[in-house]
Structure 1
Amino acid sequence: MKFEYVLLALIAGRPRSGFDLGRWVESEGQFLRSRAHHSQIYRLLGRMTADGWVAFDVDPREGRPDAKVYRLTPRGREVLWEWVRSPYEPTSRFQDPDFLARFAFTAPLDRHAAIALIDTELAYRRAQIARNRDRDRTLRFEGQPPEMDRELAQEVFDELHAYGSSAVDTWVDWLEGMRHRLEHHRTPDTERGDSSA
């Protein structure tokens, strides 16, 4: 996942300064990106400005350095939509930050694209479960050090498998629940009875 897409989606929600974006990443955005230094954010904003994705206005601050407040440009909107609607390739690790970021920003922008994203992830996870759930997990040892407790090693790996299986099942349940919510979500237009929605 390119981090600039997350920044672009945040700026699409409302104009923000680099400092605002950094604070968001450190708080609400921790589950999407564990480490993003402010200098990285400012470098990306510079590149996004040069590429025409964002533009900025200078916000004068009394007693502090002026702030650049970034807003989405028409080109930035196109790039955001391309990302939201682009194909998604699941990774072997579930709950991948790429999926979480794409889903978090795709759902409010394009509900149908979010459903397609979930369908891709669900298909991959179900196939992964079918391939791995009931396979032989017996550990094979050869030339191991005498200190190795083979029985404990097998027990630990069996417990890790049980934990992983439970976590993947919880993830699949969550995806199915979110898909259902998205399918049945009523937009403000449908709540007002607007038939054009």
Structure 2
Amino acid sequence: MLDNLILGLLGLGPLSGYDLGKWMDGPGRFTGYRVTLPQVYRTLSKLVERDLVRYEIEPREGKPDAKVYRLTETGTQALLDWAHSPFEPAPRPMDPDFMLRFLLTGVLGRDYAISVLRTELDYRRAQVRNPTRVDEWVSALDPLDLIDPRWAATVLRAAHDQGRASTASYIGWLEVTLADFENRPDS
């Protein structure tokens, strides 16, 4: 996934490895996908070897020169192939793969963004329609002697309630964003 993340960011413009790392520690930290700067540099090297990106040395006054990376034609095609590939939601809500797909294919155009949003929303709606039987599951517990079963049930129910509330909020965001995108005039 890091390959696609870097290709997508380079689709927005040329960046150094340091710039990519700053994005991932800054605005990108809310995507839920965490990487370190050494991972970025290793991946950039592999992308150069595969002819997906190229770099130019950019002199910087008073600082070390920087390698500034750009997509090659092959890299652009790889990004488009990934954007056109089917998106399959992960079982866990708010999975970082969704946000990266939404972010990196969504910038390619309104139809891409709408397709990814609709796929995720349909999956999440189906997911919450399936009943969860927490009380049934909790009543079947036979915990270790050092665990109070009533307290364990209380904690398990609270965690379940938080998960359902988070998912409901997430579905609300998906619905509002999809409606907003569908009602925007083509630009």
TM-score calculated relative to the size of structure 2: 0.90
Cα deviation for residue 170 of structure 1 reads: 0.7
Q: Which runs of 5+ in 1 are unaligned?
A: 189-197
Q: Distance in 1 between matches of 2:82 and 2:30?
A: 19
Q: What letter corresponds to residue 141 of structure 1 in structure 2?
A: L
The aligned counterpart of 1:77 is 76
Q: Tell me by how many angstroms 1:109 deviates.
A: 0.8
Counterpart for residue 125 of structure 1: 124
Name the residue aligned to 2:101: 102
Describe the shift of the 1:53–1:33 C-alpha distance in structure 2 as closer, same or farther (beyond 3 A): farther
Checking the alignment, whether the CA contact within 8 Å between 2:47 and 2:53 is kept in structure 1 is: yes
Residues 25 and 33 of structure 1 are in contact (CA less than 8 Å); yes or no, is this contact kept in structure 2? no
* Structure 1 counterpart SS, 2:130: helix
Give a deviation string over 1:76-110, Cα, whole Å, max 9, x none: 11111111221111111111000001101222212
Matched residues, number: 185
Seen in structure 2, the aligned counterparts of structure 1 residues 78 and 34 have a Cα distance that, compared at 3 Å, is: closer
Contact 2:58 2:65 in 1 (8 A): yes
Matched ranges for 1:36-115 at <5 A:
36-115=35-114
Identity of counterpart residues, as a percentage? 36
Give the equivalent residue in structure 1 for 2:150. 151
Paired amino acid for 2:141: F
Verify the 8 A CA contact 2:7 2:79 in the aligned structure 1: yes
**Residue 152 of structure 1: CA displacement?**
1.6
8 A contact 2:134–2:157 mirrored in 1: no
Gaps of 5+ in 2: none
Partner of 1:193 in structure 2?
none
In 2, Cα distance between equivalents of 1:185 and 1:108: 15
TM-score (normalised: structure 1): 0.86
1:99 is aligned with what amino acid?
A: F
1:137 pairs, out of 107, 113, 135, with: 135
Please report how far the alpha carbon of residue 65 of structure 1 lies from its aligned counterpart in structure 2 after TM superposition: 2.5
Cα distance in 1 for residues equivalent to 2:130 and 2:68: 49
Matched, 1:9 2:8: yes
RMSD of the alignment, in Å? 1.7
Q: CA deviation at 1:33?
A: 5.1
Offset, 1:136:
5.2
Instruction: Report the Cα offset of residue 13 of structure 1.
Output: 1.0
Give the counterpart letter for 1:185 in structure 2: R
